[in-house]
Homo-oligomer: A and B are copies of this chain.
Amino acid sequence: MSPIQNGRVLFHSAPKDFPVPGETTVYDTTQTIDPATVPLNGGFLLKTLVLSIDPYFRVMMHGIEGQPGFQVGAPLAGFGVAVVVRSETPSVAIGKHVYGHTTAHQEYSVVPELGALQIMEKHPNLPWSVYLGAAGMPGQSAYIGWKEYSNAKAGEVVFVTAGAGSVGSMVIQLAKKDGLKVIASAGSEEKVAFMRSLGADVVFNYKTTDTRTVLKKEGPFDIYWDNVGGDVLEAALENAAVHARFLECGSISGYNTGQPASKMFHHINAKALHIHGVIMAHLPLTKYLPEFYATVPAQLASGELKYTEEVTRGLDKVGDVILGVQKGTNKGKAIVLVADE
């Protein structure tokens, strides 16, 4: 066998807004390879079968804090499945399939070791492509995120954005299995029809139907699965129920436009943060108040716990004390002493 073309997709330059085929990425045909003779040096030769193109690619184009993104001049890498065509690695047999997020966007790759790749078996009735979608990273994000963080209870309401996507469509189905009412949005009539076929109770095209109107009518919701961020996240915040859970999975609305909302989102998502509103009205008082009053006042009285206060005498001083509290000039818990007993 003589050398053949080894097509590759190289990262060329980060776009300002939307990616530009041929500029952001370049399809390169200058490399050749002879699959029969290319030296493996103890590794193995992969023939790429399927590649996953995911929304997070946009983030990889400028990298994430502390993590490198795509390397300029190198092939893109993402989730993919490849078949082993030659091997000098005993544990990686010819004919086996290899899956992982470091799959290079090229037809053939010589790989020195599995690293982040893994040997994968597939279900006989599924194509490999499904292992990049519903049975792959998107499906797993939906499945694990839902199980771990949704705290879903039958009868609750969930709002899912990008509900026809590989993450959203799994979330809709998991929510229906759990007995929830599902409100789901997407950006075309075809996607809306697909969401309906998954069992979503309320489906709409956010391009032709106002999200706030739907949420006001069908909400409030208990869980928000966020794939889009931006103004829809704002709309969701406005229409959430008390103690709603927000699962921040994606922010496609901001990836290409640099909307400020995506900055806060980026940190929440990239660091898997857990953000809890703390407000007296919705704290579990009955769970904790007996313990609080049984321990804290005595500890304050003994000095085991300390406190400060700034007591101002006279009801006529309330306005000044209010201002001081807002400016932070008070030197302890602001108290107005109205009267002696």
**Cβ contacts A105-139/B at 8 Å (1 or 0 each):** 11100000000000000111110011111110111
CB neighbours (8 Å) of A80 from chain B are 338
CB neighbours (8 Å) of A297 from chain B are 122-123, 126, 130-131, 135
Q: Given A139-B296, A288-B148, are A267 and B237 neighbors across the interface (CB < 8 Å)?
A: yes
Closest approach, in angstroms, between the C-beta of A157 and any C-beta of chain B? Answer: 14
The size bracket of the interface on A is 35 or more
| A30 contacts chain B at the CB level, 8 A cutoff | no
Q: A25–B190 Cα gap in the complex (Å)? A: 57
Residues of A contacting B: mostly: mixed
Cβ-defined contact, B275 with A246, below 8 A: yes
CB neighbours (8 Å) of A280 from chain B are 137, 140-141
Which of A65, A198, A234, A278 has most chain B Cβ within 10 Å?
Answer: A278
Nearest neighbor of A138 in chain B, beta-carbon distance: B333
**Cβ contacts A284-307/B at 8 Å (1 or 0 each):** 110111001100111011100111
Cβ-defined contact, A268 with B277, below 8 A: yes
Cβ-defined contact, A240 with B273, below 8 A: yes
| A197 contacts chain B at the CB level, 8 A cutoff | yes
Identical copies of this chain, number: 2
Candidates B24, B148, B164, B320; contact of A283 at CB < 8 Å: B148
Cβ-defined contact, B140 with A326, below 8 A: no
Q: A296–B137 Cα gap in the complex (Å)? A: 12
Q: Which of A36-44, A50-58, A86-94, A210-218 contacts B (4 or more CB under 8 A)?
A: A50-58
Candidates B124, B300, B308, B325; contact of A164 at CB < 8 Å: B308
CB neighbours (8 Å) of A325 from chain B are 53-55, 57
Q: A43–B47 Cα gap in the complex (Å)? A: 85
Cβ-defined contact, A338 with B123, below 8 A: no
CB neighbours (8 Å) of A148 from chain B are 283-284, 287-288
| A334 contacts chain B at the CB level, 8 A cutoff | yes
Closest approach, in angstroms, between the C-beta of A38 and any C-beta of chain B? Answer: 16
Cβ-defined contact, B238 with A52, below 8 A: no
Q: Given A49-B337, A169-B306, A309-B133, are A243 and B264 neighbors across the interface (CB < 8 Å)?
A: no
Candidates B20, B57, B134, B305; contact of A333 at CB < 8 Å: B134
CB neighbours (8 Å) of A315 from chain B are 7-9, 27, 48, 51, 105-107
Closest approach, in angstroms, between the C-beta of A248 and any C-beta of chain B? Answer: 5
Q: A321–B57 Cα gap in the complex (Å)? A: 11
Q: Can you report 18 residue pairs joining A to B where beta carbons are below 8 Å apart?
A: A25-B319, A52-B334, A53-B321, A123-B298, A130-B300, A139-B296, A144-B292, A148-B283, A162-B328, A237-B267, A244-B273, A244-B274, A249-B278, A261-B264, A268-B276, A268-B277, A272-B278, A273-B275
Give the 3 A-B CB pairs with smallest separation, nearest first. A21-B319, A133-B333, A275-B275
Interface residues of A (CB under 8 A from B): 7-9, 18-22, 24-27, 47-55, 57-58, 65, 76, 80, 83, 105-107, 122-126, 129-135, 137-141, 143-145, 147-149, 162, 164-166, 169-170, 173, 187-188, 190-191, 194, 197-198, 234, 237-238, 240-249, 252, 255-256, 260-261, 263-264, 267-285, 287-289, 292-293, 296-298, 300-302, 305-309, 311, 315-316, 318-328, 330-341
